[in-house]
Amino acid sequence: MEFNRLTIHELQEKLRDGSLTSVEITESVYQRIASVEEKVHSYITLMEETAIGQARAADRRIKEGTAGELTGIPIALKDILCTEGVRTTCGSHILENAVFVGKTNMDEFAMGSSTETSRFGITKNPWDLERIPGGSSGGSAAAVAADECIASLGTDTGGSIRQPAALCGVVGMKPTYGRVSRFGMVAFASSLDQIGPITKDVEDCAIMMNVISGHDTGDSTSVPAEVPDYKKFISRDIRNWTVGIPGEYFVEGIDLEIKAAVDQTVNTLEAIGAKCTRISLPHTEYCVAVYYIIAPSEASSNLARYDGVRYGFRATGEEDLLDMYKKTRSSGFGAEVKRRIMLGTYSLSSGYYDAYYKKASQVRALIRDDFNNAFKRCDVILTPTTPTPAFRVGEKVDDPLQMYLSDIFTLSANLAGIPGISVPCGYTKSGLPMGVQFMANHFEEGKLLQIASAYEKNSKVERRMPEL
């Protein structure tokens, strides 16, 4: 049996009753990796010997009765998350002198929507190897979709969990800002970044959220709010719920097959007792502009530390200190990262701060107010996750504006700090996955899991596997 194809909750049962060991699961995952990784390129490198040792230790804990929810389950980590004893690259040349162990591929410093900006090569979509998996957590989503792990962690600054999850046909959640500790995460845009799970189904997402949520004194933005048992929201009904559908998200240019799939999602929800109603989020048209002022500005500040002095890549042949800085950052960062640093530095510069960053922050408050007002009328909001299915490798890499528009439906949740989840909602005629997004008010991840689970169980969307 191919144990790598199973979900977390399916494997938990087998681990508990002793019919399966963690070593067997881990070996199955690595057999799958050996079979398809050359095609997909989900990982930067692997840690098989260490992982098998961890699996043996997990089997001992299970026998002793001291196992936690994820004990024995092979999980992949995006290469933006720091791990003890393992250096972290963020997919960048400037941190290239790292030892890579079990980290998934990503857009450089999480700046991208296709995983094409990685210094370590492009990850391919398991459903069509000529297409992108989304980004920046493309490696994490592709690894789950290709059964190269059981679940994974990604990060989401403007849609980097939900967008690749939709394009790869898996589940991805961005928690409320402050719900999950970011301690050990390399910062991109500190007021937007969140860590979250990418899984094969909604129940696995709830299990992962149980493990990663909660207050952490190591992260000053971590909120000391009570964490519910998210598994209790699975399989609850949503009768008499009100689902808001914002007209601003059904813009000209949205793929017709995606629109049809979202319309079918509405039909499914109404058939199981929810009321779907039109709402307005009037400042939606400003989201992309606001995001691409705030995120690059914060990136410019956060990435100033990579100067070749304390750690990472350092250019040689410098004439003086300033020349070393210039050569290190020019050759260490890729084109997209340099583009965003320049955008951000300009927005923060003297004479322009009030016109750009300050104004964007004010409009961001209006966007947040839109959501606050909407949630007075509805329980959750439903939108497409992406405007199109996965596009071809190289199709948008030289057109930054078109690439930025790939996240047009996801960045608003980051700007407002609210949680969002993407769930598979069907396949195009050519067999590419599509995703639908649900958003809820702050710290209402339980609601998202409840409606996502209800939809998953009642929709007619079959769970397919990429052929590879």
Categorize the per-residue pLDDT at 94 as very low, low, confident or very high, splitting at 50, 70 and 90: low
Query: Would you state the structure tokens that stand for residue 207, as one six-digit string?
Result: 């299990």
Per-domain residue ranges of the chain: 3-285+363-458
pLDDT digits (tens, 9 = 90+) for 104-139: 999 998 899 999 999 999 999 999 999 999 999 999
- Global pTM? 0.95
Could you tell me what percent of the chain has a pLDDT over 90?
82
**What's the confidence (pLDDT) of residue 101?**
35
Do the Cβ atoms of 218 and 183 come closer than 8 Å?
A: yes
pLDDT digits (tens, 9 = 90+) for 396-415: 988 888 898 889 999 999 99
Average pLDDT of 238-248? Answer: 97
pLDDT digits (tens, 9 = 90+) for 20-37: 999 999 999 999 999 999
Categorize the per-residue pLDDT at 326 as very low, low, confident or very high, splitting at 50, 70 and 90: confident
**What's the confidence (pLDDT) of residue 96?**
53
**What's the confidence (pLDDT) of residue 8?**
96
**What's the confidence (pLDDT) of residue 97?**
45
pLDDT digits (tens, 9 = 90+) for 337-366: 999 999 999 999 988 999 999 999 999 999
Catalytic member of 42, 118, 136, 222: 136
**What's the confidence (pLDDT) of residue 63?**
94
The pLDDT of residue 199 is above 70: yes
Categorize the per-residue pLDDT at 236 as very low, low, confident or very high, splitting at 50, 70 and 90: very high
The pLDDT of residue 246 is above 60: yes
Catalytic member of 22, 42, 78, 422: 78
**What's the confidence (pLDDT) of residue 95?**
61
**What's the confidence (pLDDT) of residue 99?**
28
Quick check: is 136 catalytic? yes
Name the CATH superfamily housing domain 3-285+363-458: Amidase signature (AS) domain (3.90.1300.10)
The pLDDT of residue 426 is above 50: yes
The pLDDT of residue 437 is above 60: yes
Could you tell me which residue, 93 or 137, shows the higher pLDDT? 137
Average pLDDT of 370-391? Answer: 97
**What's the confidence (pLDDT) of residue 308?**
85
pLDDT digits (tens, 9 = 90+) for 131-165: 999 999 999 999 999 999 999 999 999 999 999 99
Categorize the per-residue pLDDT at 275 as very low, low, confident or very high, splitting at 50, 70 and 90: very high
Average pLDDT of 276-291? Answer: 97
Categorize the per-residue pLDDT at 82 as very low, low, confident or very high, splitting at 50, 70 and 90: confident
- By CB atoms closer than 10 A (0-12, 13-18, 19+), residue 468 is middle
The pLDDT of residue 458 is above 50: yes
Q: Which stretch of 12-26, 230-244, 314-328 has the lowest confidence by average pLDDT?
A: 314-328
Categorize the per-residue pLDDT at 55 as very low, low, confident or very high, splitting at 50, 70 and 90: very high
Catalytic member of 22, 113, 140, 160: 160
Average pLDDT of 262-266? Answer: 97
Q: Which stretch of 85-89, 299-303, 457-461 has the lowest confidence by average pLDDT?
A: 85-89
Q: Please state, in angstroms and rounded to a whole number, the distance separating the CA atoms of residues 228 and 179.
A: 11
The pLDDT of residue 181 is above 80: yes
Could you tell me what percent of the chain has a pLDDT over 70?
98
